């Protein structure tokens, strides 16, 4: 066996952070081009499935279709894609993409709070401080007049927080819903296939259907790119979890937040008040305190862990 360079896990972690940090600004470009949430979600599921299906075929990994497996696919489709993405994409229509990325960094805080309520985690001084810092970071965004360009955006900040809340529910569900022999990539492929008809129906009923036919504009390219990046980077994340462990891989959360803000500045020309930058620092400090330990109930939730962003 050819030995892997020692620097490879660190480089992969950096790639994961940069890649997932790019997805929210790309979605912002798509919605600015007139595309709406359920139309975007449908095509993201299509592209994700188109990438994962041949990958699983090459790996000779079949897609299990037993009742327990379908239940997991349906849960991940709803909690990992349909509900949170619909909320995020609607919020990013009105909010700066970098601000949405900062709010998404609260996923581990919600996940820990839910695990605490379920009795799966214990509350220590450090993790309590992490939750308090997370709340303080949100308060710094919604409180001062200078934090939001327009106070009418406050409702969309609350909408943006729906996604990390739902991701927190998903993480706890996946930590409990252990199905022996279920490959993480198979879970995502199964969730994509289950979510496809639901997303298509919602896009048609709500009038949000899109047909990204040539000639392709910026919005079309943004949808393609965000889907391809998200799926590809998730594959890298699964490798990283297997190679370096879930606790090491969870450090991607910091990089996703930082890169998300930097990509938003570079691609969208966004700028933020000092309150937002301070809130980002406070949120990252809270994130550091609530990150899963090696013995945490949330660590085994590899499929859900792609939402560390």
Tokens at residue 216, please?
């392709």
Single pTM value for the model:
0.88
Domain coordinates in residue numbering, the chain: 9-308
Residue 256 predicted with pLDDT over 80:
yes
pLDDT at 240: 85
Average pLDDT, the chain: 86
Residue 2 scores a pLDDT above 80: no
Q: What is the pLDDT of residues 204-247, one digit of tens each?
A: 999 999 988 788 899 999 999 999 998 888 888 888 877 887 77
Higher pLDDT, 303 or 59: 59
pLDDT in tens, 30-88: 999 999 999 999 999 999 999 999 999 998 888 888 888 899 999 999 998 999 999 99
Q: How confident is the model at residue 306 (pLDDT cuts 50, 70, 90)?
A: very low
Instruction: Output the pLDDT for position 213.
Output: 79
């Amino acid at each position: 066996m050819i030995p892997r360079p020692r620097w490879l896990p660190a480089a992969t972690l950096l790639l994961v952070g940069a890649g997932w940090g790019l997805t929210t600004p790309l979605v912002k470009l798509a919605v600015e081009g007139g595309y709406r949430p359920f139309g975007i979600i449908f095509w993201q599921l299509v592209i994700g499935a188109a990438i994962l299906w041949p990958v699983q075929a090459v790996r000779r990994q079949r897609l299990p279709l037993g009742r327990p497996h379908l239940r997991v696919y349906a849960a991940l489709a709803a909690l990992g894609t349909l509900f949170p993405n619909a909320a995020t994409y609607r919020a990013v229509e009105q909010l700066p993409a970098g601000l949405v990325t900062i709010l998404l960094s609260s996923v581990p805080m919600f996940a820990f709070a839910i695990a605490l309520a379920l009795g799966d985690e214990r509350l220590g001084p450090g993790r309590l401080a992490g939750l308090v810092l997370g709340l303080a970071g949100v308060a710094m965004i919604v409180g001062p007049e200078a934090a939001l360009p327009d106070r009418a955006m406050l409702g969309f900040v609350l909408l943006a927080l729906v996604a990390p809340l739902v991701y927190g529910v998903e993480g706890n569900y996946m930590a409990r819903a252990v199905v022996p022999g279920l490959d993480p990539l198979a879970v995502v492929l199964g969730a994509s296939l289950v979510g496809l008809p639901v997303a298509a129906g919602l896009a048609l009923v709500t009038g949000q259907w899109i047909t990204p036919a040539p000639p392709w504009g910026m919005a079309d390219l943004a949808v393609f790119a965000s889907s391809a990046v998200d799926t590809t980077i998730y594959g890298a994340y699964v490798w990283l979890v297997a190679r370096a462990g879930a606790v090491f891989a969870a450090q991607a959360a910091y990089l996703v937040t930082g890169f998300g803000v930097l990509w938003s500045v570079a691609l969208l020309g966004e700028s933020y008040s000092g309150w937002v930058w301070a809130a980002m620092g406070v949120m990252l400090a809270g994130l550091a305190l609530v990150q899963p330990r090696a013995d945490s109930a949330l660590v085994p939730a590899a499929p859900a862990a792609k939402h560390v962003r």
